[in-house]
Chain A
């Protein structure tokens, strides 16, 4: 078994690690063998995220105090740290920022890069990384031939390990920015979506697709979600029709979700949607087209009018929950 030193860059938002951050520590430990797993946090407020990293299995945490770290800064800082510490693997979360950071970092340090890893296998020849092609209908197993390997890890692909004691060293690092590292400037940041939608941690998701027909009918999805304590999901056409906000989008360009139960009303099951919800434990689909591809992944499929099934489900759930 080869020992490898693994860097896990944990992205933060408002001082807290993003969901995939601690999740990565499990595959990092696996890849490390007897090597060291070091979390890297770039944030002016890193205490919370650092403690969480130690709880979920990091051996040490390197912190770099830096106000807001847009990918440009991150790339520069991670490059400097990779040069200083010489990790064998650098893991980054597959967030929008992570997907920008990883390839740039890899290009700068001459490393091979694999994005959206959702499984790994440690073999005698090296690590085999699994990444989806065509939105997940095919899986590609790849190896990286360079000394340093850069990978991004898909949110939800790995479960957080057991929580332990937060023991381990925290190493504050000076930030050395190279001249010209930062070329772009955010001159305005506008929040359009104020609601908090946490699809990634939801245990139950009820999704409405374009087949709900009208905005009014789509709103009834919320009613079922409320009874079930579920989160509302949506397909892209629903968002484009303005029935709900982008925060609800499930799929390739939305959220990758893995609830215990996923109920889809009037969703056709395009690969770009399936890729986002295929990790659900139990899938129920209602579609009036008996050949709709969503049925290929459903544990229960109801062929019929979603608008008729929805009120029956609401009613039955009310009875079940006693509300």
Chain B
């Protein structure tokens, strides 16, 4: 079983990112880069799946700059065996389709090099920066694979892949052929932490670097000029008008004060 987990490095999602009015860009300066949460869930689910006694390996890939290597290292310390960074000036300014196309080319190229197709290509359902959730489904289209979204567990039954898919009121068990693309939702556990030992080992593992030429990506399919969706501008959301903060010793008094403001405002 060969599993590819696609990850993205994003700014720490516990930090509130706002628009920097002076640059017109998100205020990500100095915010620690992390692996996108849903991608860590994909990696953890893949690792647990293989730990049920299935022989196989996990490869991780990210499209990003030099810095993204540190995120791949982190993945190598928590279950992945191989890591790749897909980097080229050509990819700059790609929209989701350009990204999915490039990832698709890379998945095929690595499969050829490592001798054999990936059975599962796993993505997070969305990233915390763009929150658009398009990459996984578009990657499935680009590769021509089947797709199951909102995945919270995997199981192999009689040689067939059974995927647990979260639904509004419970879950589905979905049978899917392989190769397939899956997108991960949040399972009901946290991903494992690296140990000192696994971190040391990860540090020594090589990380492959792939350019657009290496994967045979065409310039009319990825990058800014191929982008079908163009950013016009970023804007700050409308500010809510400043509220009233009641900070008093006597909690009963504070509560009653708040309550009377609410009744005056006619919201109850």
Contacts and interface: CB of A to CB of B under 8 A. Distances in A.
Interface of A: 71-72, 96, 99-100, 102-104, 106-108, 111-116, 128, 130-146, 183-194, 228, 236, 240, 247, 252-253, 260-261, 270-272, 278, 281-284, 290, 293, 295, 297-305, 308-309, 312-313, 316-317, 320
A138 B186 contact: no
B265 interface: yes
Contact of B267 (A115, A252, A260): A260
A103 B134 contact: yes
A206 B234 CA distance: 33
Contacts of A114: 132, 229
10 contacts: A72-B147, A115-B132, A140-B234, A144-B229, A189-B173, A272-B13, A282-B262, A299-B243, A301-B243, A308-B251
B14 A302 contact: no
A184 B176 contact: yes
Contacts of A96: 149-150, 167-168
Contacts of A271: 13, 16-17
Contacts of A283: 240, 243
B23 interface: no
A22 B167 CA distance: 22
B66 interface: no
Interface stretch (B44-52, B82-90, B136-144, B200-208): B136-144
A107 B245 contact: no
Contact of A138 (B18, B95, B243): B18
Contacts of A106: 97, 134, 138
B216 interface: no
Contacts of B234: 133, 138-141
A104 B141 contact: yes
Contact of A142 (B135, B229, B259): B229
Contacts of A103: 96, 133-135, 137-138, 141
B169 interface: yes
A295 B134 contact: no
Interface of B: 13-14, 16-19, 26, 95-97, 100, 128-135, 137-138, 140-142, 146-150, 162, 167-177, 180, 185-186, 188, 227-237, 240-241, 243-248, 251-252, 254-256, 258-259, 261-263, 265, 267-268
A228 B254 CA distance: 20
Contacts of A301: 243-246
A141 B254 contact: no
A107 B188 contact: no
A37 to B, nearest CB: 23
B231 A140 contact: yes
Contact of A113 (B134, B142, B252): B134
Contact of B263 (A102, A299, A320): A320
A270 to B, nearest CB: 7
A138 B26 contact: yes
Contact of A189 (B172, B237, B255): B172
A138 B236 CA distance: 5
Contact of A115 (B133, B263, B265): B133
A240 B152 CA distance: 14
Given A137-B17, A271-B16, A115 B134 contact: yes
Given A106-B97, A271-B16, A135 B128 contact: yes
B127 to A, nearest CB: 10
Contact of B169 (A247, A278, A313): A247
Contacts of B248: 303-304
Q: 9 tightest CB-CB pairs across the interface, nearest first?
A: A112-B228, A183-B146, A107-B141, A192-B170, A103-B134, A103-B137, A312-B255, A303-B247, A188-B173
A184 B246 CA distance: 55
Given A138-B237, A189-B172, A312-B255, 12 more contacts: A96-B167, A99-B133, A100-B137, A114-B132, A134-B26, A139-B236, A145-B227, A228-B268, A299-B265, A301-B245, A308-B255, A320-B263
A141 B137 contact: no
A186 B174 CA distance: 4
Given A186-B172, A189-B172, A300 B188 contact: no
Contacts of B167: 96, 189
A137 B149 contact: no
Contacts of A99: 133, 137, 149
A114 B236 CA distance: 19
